[in-house]
Amino acid sequence: MKRVAIGFGIALVVSISAFAVTQRITSFSGTAQGQGTLTVGRDKSKIKSVYINLKENGEADITLFTDLQLLAKGQWSAPADPSKGIPLKITGGIVDGSATGSGTLFLTADGKSLSKLNIQAKGAASSRKVIIEFVANREDGSQ
């Protein structure tokens, strides 16, 4: 009887773990304050906060708050393992309106908040390299 109970308990834990692993992100929307850098060619600006909107249809809207407000458009896809980041494809916006590139968005372990954003892109008109590196503040205000 003990073996049956132990076996049932192990099966229950395995089932719960499998359920947690198979949960997929279908959309995300959030703003995070933190510290980051926007590098365009040789020019650098500090990023104060970021707003991300990942839509169910695979579109992504990204707003960077520096001394200016910069927008980026793109696409995203739900990863098999969210802890490795959400892949982003940049299809427009940032500096000259026609940037292309890729990046990765990381969420907190609970999937409810933005943790980190990295993007590398290139402006089509200027061909200047654009690098975005941002780390959100934690709930306690630290990085």
For the segment 84-113, what is each residue's pLDDT rounded down to a tens digit?
Answer: 999 999 998 876 667 889 999 999 988 899
Question: How much is the pLDDT for 97?
Answer: 63
Does position 12 have pLDDT exceeding 60, yes or no?
no
Question: How much is the pLDDT for 93?
Answer: 83
Q: Tell me the CATH architecture of domain 27-136.
A: Beta Barrel (2.40)
Query: Which of residues 17 and 139 earns the better pLDDT score?
Result: 139
For the segment 67-88, what is each residue's pLDDT rounded down to a tens digit?
Answer: 989 899 999 999 988 889 999 9
Question: How much is the pLDDT for 11?
Answer: 42
Question: How much is the pLDDT for 84?
Answer: 92
Per the DSSP assignment, residues forming a β-bridge with 40 are 43, 130
Question: How much is the pLDDT for 60?
Answer: 96
For the segment 38-61, what is each residue's pLDDT rounded down to a tens digit?
Answer: 998 889 999 999 999 999 999 999
Question: How much is the pLDDT for 57?
Answer: 96
Query: What is the residue extent of each domain of the chain?
Result: 27-136
Does position 116 have pLDDT exceeding 90, yes or no?
yes
Per the DSSP assignment, residues forming a β-bridge with 89 are 75, 102
Quick check: pTM over 0.85? no
Classify residue 128 by its DSSP letter.
-
Question: Residue 13 — very low, low, confident or very high, per pLDDT cuts 50/70/90?
Answer: very low
Q: Checking DSSP bridges between strand 28-40 and strand 129-136, what pairing results, if any?
A: antiparallel
* Cβ-defined contacts of 95-102 (< 8 Å, 24+): 95/40, 95/70, 95/123, 95/126, 95/128, 95/130, 96/123, 96/124, 96/125, 96/126, 97/125, 98/123, 98/124, 98/125, 99/72, 99/123, 99/124, 99/130, 100/124, 101/130
Question: How much is the pLDDT for 96?
Answer: 61
